[in-house]
DNA sequence: GTGTTTGCAAACAATTTGCAGAATT
DNA sequence: AATTCTGCAAATTGTTTGCAAACAC
């Protein structure tokens, strides 16, 4: 694999963020330091970095994928009002064996946990407008 | 809300299945008893039933949504080789409070857990072909 | 030089939507 | 009769891909 300035900029940007940006958001931000970059390149590198395990993809079911440079096991919280995604701070996360029980006969490589609800900020806004 | 033969057929079909069909699969099957139904109607009713809480949508991150008539809390397993999705049989599932810890400050309405790996059938096939 | 990566634009796949007519109440 | 739902087709959205030129080694 060869070095690419674009790929490095994408990874660097993701490492500064804990809010799990979408491909579009990555594109808009990386473009500031790298005005010629194209959205296709962003997608190509995000999926390359994902398959290398350097970043992870988060799927919330709202039709947009998000990306996270933190690949250590952790849970996510998705606000169904504003769409924001945040990390759930936890000292450690159970192993899949513990969570799934010993009897499950399929091989498990890993797992994801996604909580959902309405975040404090959105609740505040809803109160105000009611 | 008015009754519709199409909506009933969609829900009835989903209730006979534990394999979490995609919208396309629902369409292909419901069409057998209901040849005039359109894919748009299937999508409209799936999302209506989902927002009524009569079924649930499962997002595995492979670009296709799946649907499940079992809305009781349970976990899913996704085979990343064949794409199949199965239920994880468990007597009961922890509450979100237990899983997330008491300190998390956001309101949680619910959560999803998705395990992933290569299912037995796919592993068998991989052995054979190697 | 060779092989990988890029920018661009076109292609794609899944889902949503507008609308006139059909079905339900 | 009023309203909701449908089929159809076109539109939209997020993502992927083909290709010639640019870049890394």
Question: CA quadruple A56, B74, B83, B120: dihedral positive or negative?
Answer: positive
A35 touching B (Cβ < 8 Å):
no
Q: Kindly report which listed range (A117-121, B71-75, B83-87, B98-102) carries the lowest average pLDDT score.
A: B98-102
A47 touching B (Cβ < 8 Å):
no
- Find the radius of gyration of the CA atoms of chain A: 17
- As a rounded value in angstroms, the CA-to-C1' distance for A20 and D22 is 31
Query: What pLDDT is stored for residue A62 in this prediction?
Result: 94
Residue of chain A nearest B104, judged by CA positions: A88
A110 touching B (Cβ < 8 Å):
yes
Q: Which nucleotide is nearest to A57 (CA to C1')?
A: D15
Asked if residue A2 keeps its beta carbon closer than 7 A to nucleic acid strand C, the reply is: yes
User: What gap in Å lies between CA A16 and CA A10, rounded to an integer?
Assistant: 10
How does pLDDT run across A20-72, given as a tens digit for each residue? Answer: 999 999 999 999 999 999 999 999 999 999 999 999 999 999 999 999 999 99
Which residue did the predictor score with more confidence, B125 or A6?
Answer: A6
- As a rounded value in angstroms, the CA-to-C1' distance for B17 and C19 is 34
Q: Kindly report which listed range (B13-17, B54-58, B123-127) carries the lowest average pLDDT score.
A: B123-127
Token pair listed for A105:
């006969």
Instruction: Give alpha helix (H) positions in chain B.
Output: 5-15, 23-33, 39-52, 96-100, 120-129
In angstroms, the separation between the Cα of residue A111 and the nearest Cα of chain B is 4
Query: What pLDDT is stored for residue A100 in this prediction?
Result: 94
How does pLDDT run across B77-120, given as a tens digit for each residue? Answer: 999 999 999 999 999 999 999 999 889 999 999 999 999 999 99
Query: What pLDDT is stored for residue B115 in this prediction?
Result: 98
Q: Which of B77, B89, B96 sits opposite A115 (nearest CB)?
A: B96
Chain B contact set for A64 (CB, 8 A): none
Nearest to B99 by CA among A101, A41, A115, A82: A115
How does pLDDT run across B20-60, given as a tens digit for each residue? Answer: 999 999 999 999 999 999 999 999 999 999 999 999 999 99
Contact A94, A73 (CB under 8 A): no
How does pLDDT run across A75-114, given as a tens digit for each residue? Answer: 999 999 999 999 999 999 999 999 998 899 999 999 999 9
A114 touching B (Cβ < 8 Å):
yes
In the predicted model, is pLDDT for residue A130 greater than 80? no
Q: Give residues with Cβ within 8 angstroms of A76, minimum separation 6.
A: A20, A58, A60, A85, A86, A87, A88, A112, A113, A114, A115
User: What gap in Å lies between CA B100 and CA B90, rounded to an integer?
Assistant: 19
Q: Which of B60, B80, B111 sits opposite A116 (nearest CB)?
A: B111
In the predicted model, is pLDDT for residue B128 greater than 90? no
User: Which residue in this structure is represented by tokens 């936890």?
Assistant: A90
Q: Chain A interface, mutation test: which of B23, B115, B121, most A Cβ atoms within 10 Å?
A: B115
Residue of chain B nearest A96, judged by CA positions: B115
Residue of chain A nearest B103, judged by CA positions: A89
pTM of the complete model beyond 0.85: yes
In the predicted model, is pLDDT for residue B15 greater than 90? yes
Q: Which nucleotide is nearest to A63 (CA to C1')?
A: D14
Query: What pLDDT is stored for residue A57 in this prediction?
Result: 98
B95 touching A (Cβ < 8 Å):
no
């Amino acid at each position: 694999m060869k070095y690419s300035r674009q790929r490095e900029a994408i990874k660097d940007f993701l490492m500064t963020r804990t809010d799990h940006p979408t491909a579009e958001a990555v594109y808009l931000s990386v473009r500031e330091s790298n005005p010629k970059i194209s959205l296709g390149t962003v997608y190509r590198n995000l999926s390359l970095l994902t398959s290398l395990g350097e970043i992870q993809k988060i799927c919330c079911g709202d039709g947009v994928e998000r990306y996270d440079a933190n690949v250590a096991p952790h849970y996510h919280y998705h606000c169904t009002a504003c769409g924001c995604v945040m990390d759930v701070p936890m000292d450690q996360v159970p192993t899949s064996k513990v969570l799934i029980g010993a009897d499950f006969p399929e091989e498990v490589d890993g797992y994801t946990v996604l909580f959902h609800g309405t975040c404090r900020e959105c609740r505040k806004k809803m109160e105000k407008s009611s």
